[in-house]
Amino acid sequence: MYRTHTCGELRSTHIGQQITLSGWVKTIRKFGSITFIDLRDRYGITQLFFNERMNALLEANPLGREFVLQIKGAVMERSNKNANLPTGDIEIEVSEYTVLNASETPPFTIEDNTDGGDELRMKYRYLDLRRDAIKRNLELRYKVSRATRNFLDNHQFMEVETPMLIKSTPEGARDFVVPSRMHQGQFYALPQSPQLFKQLLMVAGYDRYFQIVKCFRDEDLRADRQPEFTQIDCEMSFVNQEDILDMFENMTKHIFQDVKGIDMQEAFPRMTWEYAMEQYGNDKPDIRFDMRLKKLNDIIKGNGFPVFDDASLVIGIAATGCSEYTRKQLDELTEWVKRPQLGMKGLVYVKMATDGTIKSSVDKFFNEDKLKQIAEFCEAKPGDLILILAGEEALTRKAISELRLEMGNRLGLRDTAVYKPLWVMDFPLFEYDDEEKRYIACHHPFTSPKPEHISWMDDESKYIDIKANAYDLVLNGTEIGGGSIRIFNKALQEKMFSALGFTKEEAIQKFGFLLSAFEYGTPPHGGIALGFDRLCALLGGSDSIRDFIAFPKNNAGRDMMLDAPDVIDAKQRKELGL
């Protein structure tokens, strides 16, 4: 028997018992002729005490960190109790030990605050996974998946696996492709999501489907994205948008209750896409704090200040309690908005001091009355600092939205322990892609337009105004899920493909199977997919999904441990016809 107990199990109630433990040597502390070792396994840490006799054996055959050890001994009361450790009241007086396996000195310390850099820890991920911090994250991930499955199972959802080797279909991102040996010159694609399969399962009458499933997207990896990631993918038949929002709001609440003990009693607020863009400058507003955007065009233009007069958008925010910002801080903020990522030309400020006096960087152009009017419009109170950006509409809206988040960070308004979910709804059906010079689907090509906008599908000039039955679940400024009510009518689906620039032949070549399925009794249906890794990271109070994935890739999409991607040998290439 390797062990009678785990390293996290023994308490003062066990004092006097003879036990056997197995685990890894975490730390070795020598005090003259005695030694203490912390033994670690998945369940915890137990202190081992080697008396003089045992210590002499240790001296003869020294142990090192991460050796795998089996020990036998007696549970004793500890004189120096450690209240921070569940096993801190006891220690084991070791009477016998066996080295089950030796270990090289690990390349970094296996501690919460390790000395190992990111890349090194990814190369030795199996050692990194031994760290408590990562282990806790994976435990949390498992809890989230268990809570999700329980909820969905209780609501008649059935998990169905869908294939990983599929056909390359335009769904928004770039596909990863896999060459076929048996059909040389042809390629499978890895799914960007099981979108079409879940719709076909609805055609097949499965009514409620879910899958916790890997998805693959070959995108340039912006901050904290992974080329393969996991979704909680769901679809339902005979439902309208309200049914779906209701179901998945309840699922989210269930997960928070089950995993974090947080009771989200209130209904999630809902906001149209248009309102979110206007008030927060983006479609995933962080509503943990207010600081809404104030469009100043009407009150600020025509005062002879060319920067404002020439801009298509002049927009500001009032940062609470920041009127004391120094010249240096303001210069630094100005540089921040001028970074290439935001590309602003400058930053205008209006300070409303606590005594109510107003000062600005544009005093030359705006008299006190005008500045007061601006301050009032921005709902600034004494002590606030109004920050104003001006320029081209889309660019400026994005920049002010980023600036709002930055000020939120600086003011400590984005507490990771506070959770503020909301639904963003009524997204546009299309957006215009300037590079491709065509309309693309905002969500994906299977999303239905609002019934009252269906007739606009015949008029290209109206495309941009068509709203979709699409919704996103947003949490703390992050999109954690998105879905839509689907098109379930063949003629409308064909119209959609044509609006997206597919010829009839291309549509049949790419999506023939879907169009054909739509001829055999398709129920009204809709669904949603939640980003599982991201949800776990948010629940864990982190903004890095990597820390919640057992074997992640680095920012360049590389697996540092496997050293993948890698070249394949000539024989393999030949077999594949490459």
Q: Which residues bind ligand ASP (CB under 6 A)?
A: 193, 195, 482-484, 527-529
C-beta of 533: minimal distance to ligand ASP in Å?
A: 13
C-beta of 236: minimal distance to ligand ASP in Å?
A: 10
**Nearer Cβ to ligand ASP, position 21 or 196?**
196
Q: What are the distances in angstroms from CA 263 to CA 35, 47, 254, 477, 486?
A: 47, 38, 8, 20, 32
Q: Which helix H or strand E contains 48, and what residues bound it? A: strand 44-50
**Nearer Cβ to ligand ASP, position 360 or 484?**
484
C-beta of 380: minimal distance to ligand ASP in Å?
A: 39
Q: What are the distances in angstroms from CA 58 to CA 20, 28, 64, 92, 95?
A: 18, 11, 10, 16, 12
C-beta of 472: minimal distance to ligand ASP in Å?
A: 9
Helical axes 393-410 vs 273-280, angle rounded to 10°: 70
Q: Which two tokens stand for residue 501?
A: 């620039």
CB atoms within 10 A of CB 121: 19
**Nearer Cβ to ligand ASP, position 63 or 212?**
212
C-beta of 335: minimal distance to ligand ASP in Å?
A: 36
**Nearer Cβ to ligand ASP, position 386 or 529?**
529
C-beta of 104: minimal distance to ligand ASP in Å?
A: 43
**Nearer Cβ to ligand ASP, position 517 or 529?**
529
* Cis ω for the linkage preceding 269 (within 30 of 0): no
CA torsion through residues 196, 199, 205, 209, sign: positive
In a 13 Å sphere around the CA of 261, the CA atoms on its Cβ side amount to 0
Q: For residues 54 and 62, what is the distance between their CA atoms, to the nearest angstrom?
A: 12
C-beta of 449: minimal distance to ligand ASP in Å?
A: 15
C-beta of 148: minimal distance to ligand ASP in Å?
A: 15
CB contact set of 484 (below 8 Å; sequence gap of 6+): 443, 444, 446, 447, 448, 468, 469, 470, 471, 526, 527
**Nearer Cβ to ligand ASP, position 111 or 479?**
479
**Nearer Cβ to ligand ASP, position 384 or 472?**
472
Q: Which two tokens stand for residue 95?
A: 């009477």
**Nearer Cβ to ligand ASP, position 193 or 476?**
193
SS3 338: helix
Beta bridge partners of 441: 430
CB contact set of 577 (below 8 Å; sequence gap of 6+): 179, 181, 184, 185
C-beta of 3: minimal distance to ligand ASP in Å?
A: 44
SS3 409: helix
Beta bridge partners of 67: none
C-beta of 548: minimal distance to ligand ASP in Å?
A: 19
**Nearer Cβ to ligand ASP, position 47 or 193?**
193
Question: SS3 string of 280-317?
Answer: HCCCCCCCCCCCCCEECHHHHCCCCCHHHHCCCEEEEE
**Nearer Cβ to ligand ASP, position 420 or 444?**
444
